[in-house]
Structure 1
Amino acid sequence: MKEKNAWKFNGFIALIISFAILAATVYNIVNTVKTGNVSSLVLAIIGVILWVIIQSSMTVVQPNQAKVLTFFGSYIGSIRQPGIWMTVPFVASKKISLKVRNFNSERLKVNDVEGNPIEIAAVVVIKVIDSAKAVFDVDNYEQFVEIQSETALRHVATKYPYDNYAEDDVSLRGNTEEVAAEITKELQERLTIAGVEVIEARLTHLAYATEIASAMLQRQQANAILAARQKIVEGAVGMAQMAIQQLESSGTIELDDERKMAMINNLLVAIVSDRSAQPVLNTGTLY
């Protein structure tokens, strides 16, 4: 099923025509009563039929709304332009909102790629772009959007870990833009059949499940400390190398391998230690 434009005619002109027919019909009825003219009676009957046909074909479309028209079970098209219109008479119409709307999913409990139970929720911004698909291809497009949104959210959540301190790895907490883009893409693939466009999808809630929240907090703290220590060690090694190179290049002192190792050891201890270094001043030997 694909949306198409239904035949329509300016409704204001149709109303003027219907009022003219109504006036002519009243005139013919009065003339028939007064004179008993059979031709006037026939014209009156024809006028009533035409007036009923025109009135049955009138429809009003509100802004950001579409009307899907069916004629005795056959889809004949949709009207998107707001206003009053005359279309095929005796049609059944169904209103479809074309406004942008938000859908807030419930908090879902799923397992991430590492098997940790997490709670996740998202907001999805959608808009109907094909009224025919929304009406005829799915039973209830709003319920369809709700179920498919939760399904896509579950699927994406199981593909990534909740958190990862490696720079090249994608995680739910650390790569919200990438995760949102993937949710949007997967939702669009699922909702195309319903004629719905996914404008945006964003995570609104992300947390570990309550039963493991305390344990995972300790794990996060340990991972954070380990990652920080790795950065500190990398910086300390670079600083020690730079200090020795500057001392040697300036020609101030000459260090043998043993003194280089001692200096590197002292610099690393002073930089890597989580406490302030206590300086020791060497004033020389007693003899």
Structure 2
Amino acid sequence: MSAPTDPSLPTPLPTAGPGTTRPFATPRTVMALVLREMSTRYGRSPGGYVWAILEPLGSIIVLGLGFSLLLRSPSLGSSFILFYATGYLPFNLYQSLSLTISRAISFSKPLLFYPAVTWVDAVLARFILNSLTGILVTYLLLAGILAVADTRVVLDAQPMLVAIGQAMILGLGVGVLNCALIGLMPTWEMVWSIFTRPLFLASGIFYIYEDLPQMAQDILWYNPLMHVTGYMRMGFYPMYEPEYLAPAYAVGFGLICLTMGLILLGRYHRDILND
């Protein structure tokens, strides 16, 4: 016989013990986490979503005006602002996704001790929210630049969509892998921040691949973000046909990181939660 339960004692909260987590996420739980993050991230600051647009817009304007004082014309076209926007915005989408997803477990950690919420829910919620936000910001800024700037471009949607898809896959893969590594080794976040600091300069935001000397090309070809910015610019400059692009490379790089991250989180997510 089991011992009687003392009604005066508080009911223990469910924990993330063996057998309590679900093998997949539910849309209802993911949507609840999305709404929670929207209210936490954008609802408590003055302006809310406006800052998601103003921040990249300010960066693009500063870059465009600064380099217009130093150079006669950008590497492609005649508009400095459009040239830097086509490089900066896909990079910003990747960076936002990888950074927020890498902190998914720490952000939602109090909720992950309930069996109704899993680490998969937390990752998917951040991926969905930041992907939609990044795509919306990219569309609004590029449409605004094309409407205001005196540019004569012939748009091609296919390479643009390829670039956006590559940035999303890379952001998801790198973010999930870093989420696991940061949970297991907290110092990894600082190491990764230092290691990737030159990435802003090495991803083709200020230049095109063909402007570089051969030695730099041989090194930077292995940066998957060079392929992302190359595809994005193909969609705006019809005469630009870069031969170095390898669509499977950026996607494969992101999927390898995603696979490694999922394996580590699947194996060690309880250790990360209970740390």
Q: Say yes or no: TM over 0.5.
A: no
Q: Which has the higher contact order (CA 8 A, sep 6+)?
A: 2
Q: How high is the TM-score relative to the length of structure 2?
A: 0.26
Q: Which has the higher strand share?
A: 1
Q: How high is the TM-score relative to the length of structure 1?
A: 0.25
Point out the structure with max Rg over C-alpha: 1
Q: Which has the higher helix share?
A: 2
